[in-house]
Chains A and B, each alone.
Chain A
Amino acid sequence: MEFAGELSHMENGYSKGKESWNNGLRTAQNMSTSLLRKKSDPMLVSKLRFQMLRQFLANLQEVVLGTKLAVLFPAIPLAIAADFYKFGRPWIFALSLLGLTPLAERVSFLTEQIAYYTGPTVGGLLNATCGNATELIIALFALYQNKIHVLKYSLLGSILSNLLLVLGSSLLCGGLANLKKEQRYDRKQADVNSLLLLLGLLCHMLPLMFRYAAAPGIFIDDHSILQLSRASSIVMLVAYIGYIFFQLKTHRQIFESQEEDEEEEKAVIGFWSAFSWLVGMTLIIALLSEYVVGTIEAASESWGISISFISIILIPIVGNAAEHAGSIIFAFKNKLDISLGVALGSATQISMFAVPLCVVVGWIMRIQMDLDFSLLETACLALTIIVVAFTLQDGTSHYMKGVVLCLCYVAIAACFFVHKIPAPLDQTQVNLGLKPSSGFSA
């Protein structure tokens, strides 16, 4: 059994360093998804003769079957078959969504494995960029297909889902499971994240208010809103880089997850196999995302629910499923710092990194993507951030906080469920207009 392990070690790239900093880089996200792993059983594999085959199969078992979510893997070939044989576009949509769930989890696992070899800082950086790979790839595909509203809604929905659903259900379950104990967490981490989210909110509200502040008769050039959005995006990216520096270099101790007797884990696959698996999985994610973005209108018509509801509510629930489950499990064990790290960290990453990155990519591709997520969505975001900032600012928790956050999410979901705006025919003309009727820009 050690033989298989040694071979992975001997592969190019020996593990750097000792176990001590392995602990250091177990960020909240890695720890939470590690709950969904199963320990592989290499016994079956050792019976085979050829070493290479054995190594390959052990590798395969570790990566493909190493999670409880692996039951959803068959959805991937089914989605490809459905697209090939033209089953029905809503089917392609549903199967692609199901297939994305385990892939998102596996990417997180592979990122963690690579991080064992590259050291804690690069590992943290990798996690910071790839942590929300699914949302980012979906967004880039939507951008490429010029479906700006899908892009905006899915990113917004991801933030709302992390802040209200994941956080709320964690606090609720944690509160119910620990009724008699006092639940505390370190509020400094929550404070930094709330502050960044407020900066993101400001950058979203300025283009929106710009549109409303025009005196009648003055034509608000779409160009100026675009310029403002691009400048704000650069500001947000600078803030995010500052946050990464803060989190990984100067103030690590605020973000260190609580170390109890964690078992010492070594990397289970080699560096290059992890790297190639990562590339492969990213390609599959890209394929499924293309299906999702391509078939979203068909699914919306066929199921009778608006595109905004699908983008804001359904897609993020799928994309966040793995983190969500891990967060709830840690809340049960009364380790709220980790749950908060997962939920808030994800929301901050999307709001301060994914969104401005899309604006910049749109700038390069000459697509008019701005930060104006119309009135209703921005107001939901504002109220959500205020509620969450207020909830987390005292450092204790009880189930009532979780109840309120979850019900806020239900209210917002109901709002988008009944909000049936007509889908625009031509994407490029949606952002024009003098009147503040930007509800139609969706």
Chain B
Amino acid sequence: MASLQEPWLLEKGNLKGSSKEIRHGRTAHNMSSSSLRKKSDLTLVSKVRYGMLRQFLTNLQEVILGTKLSVLFPAIPLAVVADCYGFGRPCVFALSLLGLTPLAERVSFLTEQIAYYTGPTVGGLLNATCGNATELIIAIFALGQYKIDVVKYSLLGSVLSNLLLVLGTSLFCGGIANLRKEQKYDRRQADVNSLLLLLALLCHSLPLLFRLTGASAAVTNDPTLQLSRASSIVMLITYLSYLVFQLFTHRQLFEAQEESEDDEDGLPEEAPVIGFWSGFIWLIGMTTVISLLSEYVVQTIEAASDSWGISVSFISIILLPIVGNAAEHAGAIIFAFKNKLDISLGVALGSATQISMFVVPLCVVVAWIMGINMDLNFNLLETGSLALSIIAVAFTLQDGTSHYMKGLVLLLLYIVIGTCFFVSKTPLNQVNITNSETEIAIDKIFRV
């Protein structure tokens, strides 16, 4: 069976670095999603005779069937079929959502495989940009269709989901499973992430306050936009320096915990299982399929909202991010069970930081280029929820220990915020209305 693995290694792109470096390239993100992998069983394939066919089928098996989530893969062709035959837009929406879940996990797996070949730094960079590929693609499609509210809400919901739901369930499950042990983690990583989230909060609050200081929308539209664009550049600069901080100067704060190697909980030395170019091709293919499904999701969101009777804001803030984050979520919980909280925190906080400091300002800049007026004013209710979540999380994580009560509180915070958006049926179903009109509507609600 060893000979089966070699053709990959002979493919273009020799493995960079020794195993020690490969280990360093395993960021928290990668380690968490790798817990969902199954070891491929290569015996079936070895029966096929031809070398090339065998190689191809092994590749296929590794990529498609290599995860427990692959049961959801049939949803993808079903979604395409439903769209072609006009089944019912809510169906298309639901099937696309289901199909996105395993795809997000596979993209993360492929990024990790590619990182074996490119070295730890580029691997870290790749992970930093592609880690939330699903959210980014959904946001850009929504932007292209002028559904600015969907963009804002889905990104906000992603941040809230990472900070409260993923983190809360991990701390809760970890606390219950390790009742007798002390749970510690390195607070410096949490501190840096909390600081960045507070900066993002500042950049979101300032345009909101412009609106609230009572001047009419016509006067404040332009300054709000200018301020949002300037703040987005500030946030992108901060994200770049955070990358420098994380990958170059202060790596040691972010290194995933290396335990002693021979214990059964430790991750085995993994060599990459597919070649560089096949990984790359699979990545492009999967990204294309993600784009297709995202387009379905964004187009059918209003129809689904009407048909199921729940507001678009609830779907964007709660449902979409739960789906998009499902793989990371599962991984974070599994590592919390094993009392490796640094990894869970790295996943949850790192994702939240990435979305708020990279994806959101990137969308504003892309909208600027496309001539669309997207600003950082995520109305009062959403910004208020964001502020309280960030402050609660910053306070929770600042002492370096954990117990299940912390997880329970964060989880219940998420449930309260979800309920809030469930019952607030603001006139946001018409997502094609431009921002200013929505602002006037919300101003009226606020002033009464």
Chain A positions within 8 Å of B, measured between CB atoms, are 179, 216, 374-376, 379-380, 383, 386-387, 390-391, 393-394, 396, 398-401, 403-404, 407-408, 410-412, 414-415, 418-421, 435-440
Contact = CB atoms under 8 A, between A and B. Distances in A.
Contacts of A414: 226-227, 230-231, 234
- Shortest 10 CB-CB distances between A and B: which pairs? A439-B213, A437-B214, A418-B223, A414-B230, A415-B206, A376-B209, A400-B245, A383-B202, A387-B198, A418-B226
Contacts of B83: none
B43 interface: no
B223 A390 contact: no
Size range of the interface on B?
35 or more
A375 B213 contact: yes
A422 B207 CA distance: 18
Interface of B: 187-188, 191-192, 194-196, 198-199, 201-203, 205-206, 209-210, 212-215, 223, 226-227, 230-231, 234, 237-238, 241-242, 245, 249-250, 391, 394, 398, 447-448
The dominant DSSP class at the B interface is: helix
Contacts of B188: 394, 396
A419 B210 contact: yes
A390 B394 contact: yes
A380 B208 CA distance: 12
B215 A439 contact: yes
A203 B194 CA distance: 27
Given A393-B398, A414-B227, 15 more contacts: A179-B249, A216-B448, A374-B213, A383-B205, A387-B195, A390-B198, A394-B191, A398-B250, A400-B192, A404-B195, A407-B237, A408-B202, A411-B202, A411-B231, A438-B213
Contacts of B241: 400, 403
A238 to B, nearest CB: 29
B214 A411 contact: no
A411 B241 CA distance: 16
Nearest to B231: A411
Contacts of B398: 390, 393-394
Given A374-B213, A376-B213, A421-B215, A412 B206 contact: yes
Contact of B199 (A374, A408, A440): A408
B223 A420 contact: yes
Contacts of A401: 195
Contact of A403 (B210, B223, B238): B238
Contacts of A411: 199, 202-203, 206, 230-231, 234
A282 B199 CA distance: 39
B41 to A, nearest CB: 45
Contacts of A415: 206, 210, 227
A380 B241 CA distance: 24
Nearest to A393: B398
A438 B198 CA distance: 26
B205 A387 contact: no
A394 B234 contact: no
Nearest to A433: B214
Given A390-B194, A411-B202, A404 B209 contact: no
8 contacts: A376-B213, A390-B195, A390-B198, A393-B398, A403-B238, A407-B199, A414-B230, A419-B223
Nearest to A401: B195
A375 B196 contact: no
A374 B213 CA distance: 8
Given A390-B394, A438-B213, A439-B215, A407 B238 contact: yes
Contacts of A421: 215
Contact of A379 (B205, B231, B249): B205
Given A379-B209, A420-B223, A436-B214, A404 B234 contact: no
A330 B194 CA distance: 27
B439 to A, nearest CB: 15
B214 A387 contact: no
Nearest to B196: A404
Contact of A387 (B187, B199, B215, B234): B199
Contacts of A390: 194-195, 198, 394, 398
A58 B10 CA distance: 82
A437 B230 contact: no
Contacts of A412: 202, 206
Contacts of A400: 192, 195, 241-242, 245, 250
A437 B209 CA distance: 11
